Structure 1
Amino acid sequence: MDIVFGIDVSKHSYNVAILIEQKVYKEFRIQNDRPGFEILEDELDGLTSPQIIFESSGIYSRSIRAFLIRNGWQYTEINPLAAKKDMDSFRHNKNDRLDAVSLAMAMSQHHYKPTFQEQPVYSELHDLERTYQELNEDIVRAKNRLHQKLQLAFPEIERFSSVTDGALYWHIVQQFPHPSLVLEMGITELARLILEATPKNMGERRSLVLAQHLQDLAYNSAPAVENCTHAVQAVIYLAGQVERLDTLKKKTIDEMTEISANLQEITILQSIPGIGIKTAVCLVAELGDIRRFRKPNAINAYIGIDLIQYQSGDFEMGQHIRKRGNTYARKILFKAVLNIVSVSRYHPSNISLFYQRKKQSSGDIHTKKIAVAAMGRLNRTIYHLIKNNEFYDPMKFTPEL
């Protein structure tokens, strides 16, 4: 007997429709809490292999997914776009109650396969990685604000080091947000403070050079505000915020590394030249268990680098990637390709050779397009290695893989 539970997920509640042999048997609404799940459990208990389907709704579908996994029920978590395509053929009106019925009818007609259930570690990695990305975005905003305030208080200090990043730079900005604070001190005192500000080993000679450089910057500065103004206090606060956020980023990566230590794919990914631990854990966190994909092209579609072709009559649009899917995974893979290419001089790989060959044969194609093409090659390599539990062997993998 064909029994289907269609569940329409919303923020605080779920609409449930039960179909038996494609006929509506029962409809009800439950809250997203323990009593609500107990009602659903009572309906499911005693049934033999009921089919359960609901749309993937980000964080709002996490609760129902966790409930079903805890109780050992198989389920189908369908992509909303795929659901809409199949449901529109028989759905003329749309509301939460009808959506639950429509989902159940789509399941009865198309018999979707149950969703691959990953180990809990992948969900935890995903949550940590999204926190890492949020910290990255917060740092970018804080740095932009810090730059704006420094233009008022002490713009020349941005030339103190080659990059406006790192613990030394942030400590110096917090201690000397205004040039007058630098000019109050002698070279020896400044050098001592610089030595204390850096977590790295630095010689006294280097600290004296930096102290003189800082003093020269301060001497040539013509700030727009006085030492006692709000802009100076804002510089101190924002530099401290950037430093705190950067520390949290490093702690997040350390935690991801620790909880993924037993995942074989982390070690496999690191065997590819140019992929380090941070790239490996972030990539696994975004892609999840790669074994669930049927083929490498499914990974391309998941991250949105599958190609779109449009032709109508004599008009044919140039191919371009779909850009629909996991944006973070796409960004991580793009940077991974650039890292692989950068180490190719000493550690060539099939991905770097593919990239170089494309670049040589396509003079008018932008580097970004070539990198995206190499991302597809990298996905194929990753898929093969993890599916077969193999480490990367440069002698085995060729550009034609």
Structure 2
Amino acid sequence: MDRYQSKAFEKGKRVNIQSSTLRKSKTDTIDAKYIALFGFYHCNNLSLATSELFRSIKPLLRERVALSQEVAKLKREIKALVDQLFYELSKNYNIFTKSILHLLLQAPSRKRVRNLKEQMIQRILDQASEGKTKLSAKTIKELAKKSIGISSSSLEAILQSKIRHLLTLQEEITLLVKRVEEEIDQDLDDDITILSSISGIGKTAAISFLGELGSINKFCSYKKFCAFIGTDLAIYQSGSSLHSFGKITKRGNRYLRRTL
């Protein structure tokens, strides 16, 4: 590059790479040189703050995913135990509300619920929900009397242990989400608002999406965006035959794909 071209960069003028030399050449070396020069002379107008933000919150978001998967596994195990100890409760109620979980901590089987007074059951339910529960202690007591659940002190102890673990994990997830929200730059507020305005997408999902994606501007087409996530269709071609299996490739960013 001669001194006239350098001055053009210094003044912020656009230089056509193809016309900057008599030779009609385009190589990676030439491209790299022009990109480096552009960055050097325009560094005051370029910002990587958002990228740094994404790098800082990504580990927090991925840890939340790991804890969420553990929570899902625990819930399946808790449901299986309650089905054995007090099936009628899991059939008629959402057992993962605060009220029911705290009741199961105190009375983890139909036998233990049956032995509690109705007033005590209602007190446990009210304390867990801070008086907002609509659950009826009388109804739960009646279910316990008619229940066909088994009696097993070992399963009761395991159920209580898993519930305590579940409550701890849920608290940790809440703390992680709060930390992520504290890290979020104000520049992302508009993007989060736009994403969360879509029906079914909450603030946490929007933040997770942006944290894994970074900037949408790095994709020149929706096809490349889909390939990055791994939601593009698998295609098999042999000779003149072209087949689409109708299944996604599941390559690329699995955390972003899970969020979607």
Same fold flag (TM > 0.5): yes
Shift of 1:239: 1.2
Q: For residues 104-162 of structure 1, what are the alpha-carbon distances to aligned partners after superposition, in whole Å with 9 as ceiling and x for unaligned?
A: xxx98x97x89x9653221122111111111111112212222333344333321352x
Q: 1: CA distance between counterparts of 2:170 and 2:243? A: 44
**Which of 236, 247, 258 pairs up with 1:310?**
236
Tell me, yes or no, if the aligned pair for 1:183 and 1:215 is still in contact at 8 Å.
yes
Shift of 1:177: 0.2
Structure 2 gaps, min length 5:
1-27, 37-46
Report SS of the residue matched to 1:318: strand
TM-score, normalised by the number of residues in structure 1: 0.48
Matched, 1:134 2:66: yes
The equivalences for 1:27-42 within 5 A come to none
Report SS of the residue matched to 1:201: coil
**Which of 76, 82, 87 pairs up with 1:150?**
82
Q: Higher helix share goes to which structure? A: 2
Q: For residues 160-187 of structure 1, what are the alpha-carbon distances to aligned partners after superposition, in whole Å with 9 as ceiling and x for unaligned?
A: 52x2322122112211102222222332
Q: 1: CA distance between counterparts of 2:124 and 2:92? A: 14
Matched, 1:322 2:253: no
Report SS of the residue matched to 1:119: helix
Shift of 1:220: 1.8
Q: 1: CA distance between counterparts of 2:92 and 2:108? A: 12
TM-score, normalised by the number of residues in structure 2: 0.72
**Which of 316, 322, 331 pairs up with 2:258?**
331
Shift of 1:194: 1.4
Q: 1: CA distance between counterparts of 2:131 and 2:53? A: 34
Aligned to 1:266: 192
User: AA paired with 1:281?
Assistant: I
Q: 1: CA distance between counterparts of 2:166 and 2:217? A: 38
Taking CA–CA contacts closer than 8 Å with sequence separation of 6 or more, which of the two structures ends up with the larger relative contact order? 2
Report SS of the residue matched to 1:156: helix
Q: For residues 315-335 of structure 1, what are the alpha-carbon distances to aligned partners after superposition, in whole Å with 9 as ceiling and x for unaligned?
A: 3312533221112212322xx
User: AA paired with 2:80?
Assistant: Q
Report SS of the residue matched to 1:263: helix
Q: 1: CA distance between counterparts of 2:142 and 2:53? A: 53
**Which of 161, 181, 201 pairs up with 1:257?**
181
Distance 1:306 1:225, change over 3 A: same
Q: 1: CA distance between counterparts of 2:231 and 2:146? A: 50
Shift of 1:219: 0.9
Q: 1: CA distance between counterparts of 2:193 and 2:149? A: 51
Q: 1: CA distance between counterparts of 2:129 and 2:68? A: 22
Distance 1:183 1:319, change over 3 A: closer
Aligned to 2:208: 282
Q: 2: CA distance between counterparts of 1:294 and 1:316? A: 26
Report SS of the residue matched to 1:136: helix
Shift of 1:269: 2.4
Q: 2: CA distance between counterparts of 1:160 and 1:196? A: 21
Q: For residues 48-97 of structure 1, what are the alpha-carbon distances to aligned partners after superposition, in whole Å with 9 as ceiling and x for unaligned?
A: xxxxxxxxxxxxxxxxxxxxxxxxxxxxxxxxxxxxxxxxxxxxxxxxxx
Matched, 1:243 2:167: yes
Tell me, yes or no, if the aligned pair for 2:84 and 2:149 is still in contact at 8 Å.
yes
Shift of 1:282: 0.9
Aligned to 2:154: 230
Tell me, yes or no, if the aligned pair for 2:89 and 2:95 is still in contact at 8 Å.
no
Tell me, yes or no, if the aligned pair for 1:303 and 1:330 is still in contact at 8 Å.
yes
Tell me, yes or no, if the aligned pair for 2:213 and 2:256 is still in contact at 8 Å.
yes
**Which of 96, 112, 118 pairs up with 1:187?**
118
Tell me, yes or no, if the aligned pair for 2:118 and 2:137 is still in contact at 8 Å.
yes
Structure 1 gaps, min length 5:
1-106, 334-401
Q: For residues 334-388 of structure 1, what are the alpha-carbon distances to aligned partners after superposition, in whole Å with 9 as ceiling and x for unaligned?
A: xxxxxxxxxxxxxxxxxxxxxxxxxxxxxxxxxxxxxxxxxxxxxxxxxxxxxxx
Distance 1:225 1:275, change over 3 A: closer
**Which of 74, 80, 102 pairs up with 1:171?**
102
User: AA paired with 2:254?
Assistant: T
Q: 2: CA distance between counterparts of 1:225 and 1:186? A: 19
Aligned to 2:127: 196
Q: For residues 3-36 of structure 1, what are the alpha-carbon distances to aligned partners after superposition, in whole Å with 9 as ceiling and x for unaligned?
A: xxxxxxxxxxxxxxxxxxxxxxxxxxxxxxxxxx
Tell me, yes or no, if the aligned pair for 2:64 and 2:173 is still in contact at 8 Å.
yes
Distance 1:127 1:273, change over 3 A: same
Percent identical among aligned pairs is: 23
Report SS of the residue matched to 2:186: coil
User: AA paired with 1:330?
Assistant: R
Across the aligned residues of Structure 1 and Structure 2, the Cα RMSD in angstroms comes to 3.0
Report SS of the residue matched to 1:316: strand
Matched, 1:300 2:231: no
Q: 1: CA distance between counterparts of 2:180 and 2:229? A: 21
